[in-house]
Structures are given as C-alpha cells and as structure tokens.
Amino acid sequence: MRLHRTMSKTLQERRQQPGTAGRDVMRPHRSPDRDFERSPLRSLARLARLAYEYFVLYFGYLYFGIGCALCSLAATALHPILPGRFGAPLGRWITGVHFRGFLALLRASGLVRIDLASLDQLRGERSIIIAPNHPCLLDAVFIISRLPQTACIMKAEIWDSFFLGGGARLSGYIRNDAPINLVRQSVGELHAGHQLLVFPEGTRTRAAPVDAFKGGFALMAKKSGAAVQTVFIETNSAFLCKGWPLLKKPDFPLIYRARLGMRFAAESDLKAFVSRLKNYYREELSTRVLFEPPAARESRRPGTPRSLS
C-alpha cells in the first residue's frame, strides 16, 4: 500500500504533454537566471548600465575640459610675472595634479583600469629621454600624471590652444613647429638634468604595433648624451586612437598599462639607431596589441584615399 501511494503521488506530479499519449513526461525545471534574463528587470539593468557608461564618458570629457581651461587661465595670469625657473616647475606641478585627478575619476567610475605603477621607478632619474609608443590621446596624460616635472614636446596647435596653451607656456613645454629650436630647447632641458617626453612615432599609431619612427629623438640623445628609456603603453581598446570619433562610446571596461623596457644609449649612426629601436618596439608589442586603430581599418578599405599626415 505504501508503494502504491508513493507511485500515485509521483504520477500526480507529472503532466501529460501533447503528442506523448501513453507516456509520462517530467515537468521541466525552470532556471531563475533564465527567468531574470527574460524579465523586464534585465532590460532595465542593461539600460541603466548603458546610461552610466555614457555619463562617465561625457562627464569625463567635461571634467577634463573644464580643468584644462581653469589651469590655462591661472597659468596665463602667472606666466608674465613669474621667471622661468619658478614658473616652469609650478606649471608642471599644476598640470600633473590635474591629470592625476582626471585619472582618479576614471578609476573611481569602475569602468577604467589603469596601471602606471612602473613609471614610479623613473622618479628622481635625471637627463633621460622617456620614449613611449603612442596608441591614443591619453598617453601624455598617463606619463605626466606620474612624472609631472618631465619636459614635453607639444604640437604647435595645442601650445596655442585655449584649453592647454596657458599651462604649456607656463610649464616651458616645447613647440614642435621649429625643428632647430625644438632640438636646441630639448637638449637644453636634458643638460639641465630634466626628463624629456618624446613619442618616437611623432603622432598616434595608425597601424599597430607601431608606425615608422622619426629621427628627432635620436638626434637629441646624441647631442645631449642622454639615454633613451623605452616605455610600452598597452590597452585593450582603440578608444581615442587615430581615427576614433571623439563622441563614440567605447566598449567598457577600458584597460591601460604602462611598463618599462630597455634603456638605450645613443649611437653615432642615427639611422641604424632609430631602426634598432623600431624593431625592438615591434618585437615587444606585436604579441600584446589587442586592438586595431580605426585609421588602419580605414586605410585598407577599397577606394580609401591615403592620408598625408
């Protein structure tokens, strides 16, 4: 009797499905996770995440732009009244504080992971050329945030701009539109014991892992006797790389890491020296580049004209 009652109870827990006459089919088990994925709560969670990502993106731009404008206004007021030996360290310190605050904001969002700890090893180093690869617009921000007293070579249009021009002039950053003066000022910074930030590619990378190197940094190293410290900036995203639309949202999280490479002494044969360093960068980065710059994809499209820049 007990066995009979147990079998009857089991049969009552089953249900007859269409097309299975004469057979008992067990009721399928429903997963709570699957129910959540199909529920309106799942859609709301995705919309909330998307809204938060756009908020972080545009608020980050706003924070950076307003900060640059305020720093530029303060620097413009201070530049005429401060001698260079006081103004340059102050301007570089102000810029470094702003950049550190900006990166701290990105980290706090939870959407951006940044590891620049290896750059701290260069603090206190004198008369060296810091030569990173240049995947995106944030590269100078990364370096200066950790090494604020580094001299920097800037595009003339940035040096003249409202948002960054005042800070660049007070900081004694070097314009890149006069080659002879650029080399002379850069060598002067190195002879004074300062660090000099130079991107060997001259502009953001178009075709990963690196583009052709310019020879200016090698000439500066030879004339000053300074060593070239290689730095590799790695990322998982093409965000703000060459060809990236400024207002386009990337896929989060963004990951950035800087690591130190070998240090090279300048050679008498500058062409061979530049070629040697370019090959070294390619070897170090070829197995680590996780993205392709948009400019590289555009250049491969049929009928796409080549850029002269």
Task: Give the pLDDT score at 40.
Answer: 82
* Total tally of structural domains belonging to the chain: 1
CA 259 from chain centre, in angstroms, equals 13
Residue 242 structural domain: 50-298
In a domain, residue 127? The reply is: yes
Distance separating alpha carbons of residues 16 and 22, to the nearest angstrom: 9
List the structure tokens of 61: 């731009």
CATH of the domain at 132: 3.40.1130
In a domain, residue 5? The reply is: no
In a domain, residue 265? The reply is: yes
On whether the CB atoms of residues 200 and 233 are closer than 8 A, the answer is no
In a domain, residue 274? The reply is: yes
On whether the CB atoms of residues 230 and 281 are closer than 8 A, the answer is yes
Task: Give the pLDDT score at 162.
Answer: 79
In a domain, residue 1? The reply is: no
In a domain, residue 309? The reply is: no
Per-position pLDDT tens, the chain of length 309? 444 454 454 445 444 444 444 454 455 555 555 555 567 888 899 999 999 999 999 999 999 999 999 999 999 999 999 998 999 999 999 999 999 999 999 999 999 999 999 999 999 999 999 999 999 999 999 999 999 999 999 989 888 887 789 999 999 999 998 899 999 999 999 999 999 999 999 999 999 899 999 999 999 999 999 999 999 999 999 999 999 999 999 999 999 999 999 999 999 999 999 999 999 999 999 876 556 677 655 554 544 433 323
In a domain, residue 202? The reply is: yes
In a domain, residue 244? The reply is: yes
